[in-house]
Structure 1
Amino acid sequence: MLSDLLVANLDNALRTLTGQHVGSNRPYPGRAVPDTLLRPWERQEAGRMMRVNHAGEVMAQALYTGQAAGTSDPELRAQLEHARSEEEDHLRWCQTRLQELNSRPSLLSPLWYGAGWSMGFLAARQGRAANLGLVVAVENQVEEHLNGHLDTLPADDDRSRAVVAQMRDDEVGHAETAESLGAGKLPMPVRMAMAAFSRVLTQGALWI
């Protein structure tokens, strides 16, 4: 029913924006890694980078929720909701690391959520190939971004790297699954617009 769908989408938005994460309850990847990052300026830099990652995961929550809401294919909806659950793990992990670094989420999180949900819902209304194609395009961008963070995080920040590496591996899996289910390639203008918005999110979340 439409009312149930609206309630579920509103519930996910509120949980995402207030830090009430559930996910699949996978353990925190950094739990067994000593936090040896001691220099205050390096902790501040790592905090900014993890804030960007957290913002990306807020958008991922919204994206997958919008995609699931916009499709009439129950099999595809189940797959999208499974991926969304893993992204919720990422959100929880980023939140944990931000707290450890005495940092905070982006103040623009509602903007990232609204943009992600709209993008996901619109793609879903274009059909299965476009819906899955959005997954591939987004996850490929995120993989590249996370690989960059693995290279540029402070040298002693193995704890953040453990989190980022697990997130990266999950994103690769999401893209591969979408490819196997029949993802189409998004038009070049759409991919260019996505890349531009990714730069806006990265710079906005880095400082705000």
Structure 2
Amino acid sequence: MFRPTLRVSRALSSHAYLPPTPKGPPTAPGAPAGGAALPISPQPEQHPGTTSSPSLTPEQRRLLEEIVRVDHAGELGANWIYRGQKWGSAVRGDGKTVGQVEHNVRPTALYPVWQGLAWGMGAVTALMGKEAAMACTEAVETVIGEHYDDQLRDLKPVLEENAKKANPDPSLPLLANILEEFRDDELEHLDFAVEEGALKAPGHSLLSAAIGAACKIGITVAQKV
């Protein structure tokens, strides 16, 4: 089984680790562009926020531990929902939907539980039809997007306190940037699901409510386990 290195995992999971891209058209080394060629700087091996540990109160540490724990579990769950949808779509012969499924993996201690439940949710909704699969995605991404907003709100006081320090720890704003990126990704998936017919699923309201409730229960459990 392919197991990416930590560096590769970071590159695949989030753009927040990458430095800002300079504005303006790039110039390849040695290429005539009306001026001196700009050298290409190598990417840093590590973001400074990955090599530091902030000084936190017990309450702040508990908050950050819950954020990281539940987000690990949530992203893993989303991965297996899409795997289940991919399998269910393939069984129904829906090759187009199979080709549209994308997923990323992040490890979590709840891997076996999330793997089974999430895969089952994805498979069952995909077997019900494309619209049901999209309704599943819509419900999941709605809850998760709101949850990321809640996390960012809870994290704000910690960020503000950190910013006032003489030497602010870079890991905290990095975490906030990653959460914002994840939230924006979820909202993109939500928009895509609606565009692909989520609202046309049979029993959409009931299906969406049931899946949303299951997600909220999962979030509560993952925060503590």
Length-normalised TM-score, structure 1? 0.72
Please, which runs of 5 or more residues in structure 2 have no aligned partner? 20-46, 160-171
Residues 8-23 of structure 1: matches in 2 within 5 Å? none
Which residue of structure 1 aligns with residue 16 of structure 2? 29
- Aligned pair 1:75/2:96, yes or no? yes
Which residue of structure 2 aligns with residue 5 of structure 1? none
Which residue of structure 1 aligns with residue 113 of structure 2? 111
Q: Greater relative contact order (Cα 8 A, min sep 6): structure 1 or 2? A: 1
Residue 22 of structure 1, CA deviation? 6.3
Which shows bigger deviation, 176-185 or 138-147? 176-185
Q: 1:168 aligns with which of 160, 165, 183?
A: 183
Residue 194 of structure 1, CA deviation? 2.1
8 A Cα contact 2:77 2:115, kept in partner = yes
Residue 152 of structure 1, CA deviation? 0.7
Q: How many angstroms apart in 1 are the aligned matches of 2:194 and 2:152?
A: 25
8 A Cα contact 1:37 1:43, kept in partner = no
Residues 26 and 206 (structure 1), Cα distance of their counterparts in 2 relative to 1, 3 Å cut: closer
What's the C-alpha RMSD, in Å, of the aligned pairs? Answer: 2.8
- Number of aligned residue pairs: 173
Residues 29-178 of structure 1: matches in 2 within 5 Å? 29-30=16-17, 35=49, 37-39=54-56, 41=58, 42-71=60-89, 72-80=93-101, 82=102, 84=103, 87-88=104-105, 91=106, 105=108, 107-153=109-155, 155-156=158-159, 157-178=172-193
Q: How many angstroms apart in 2 are the aligned matches of 1:155 and 1:24?
A: 26
Q: How many angstroms apart in 2 are the aligned matches of 1:37 and 1:22?
A: 23
Percent identical: 26
The answer to which structure has the higher helix fraction is 1
Please list the CA deviations of residues 143-164 of structure 1 after superposition, one character each: whole Å capped at 9, or x if unmatched: 1111111101252232211111
Please list the CA deviations of residues 4-54 of structure 1 after superposition, one character each: whole Å capped at 9, or x if unmatched: xxxxxxx79xx7xxx9x9698255514557647321522342122111011
2:212 alignment partner AA = A
Residues 23 and 177 (structure 1), Cα distance of their counterparts in 2 relative to 1, 3 Å cut: farther
8 A Cα contact 2:143 2:216, kept in partner = no
Q: How many angstroms apart in 1 are the aligned matches of 2:141 and 2:127?
A: 20
Residue 111 of structure 1, CA deviation? 0.9
Q: How many angstroms apart in 2 are the aligned matches of 1:27 and 1:144?
A: 19
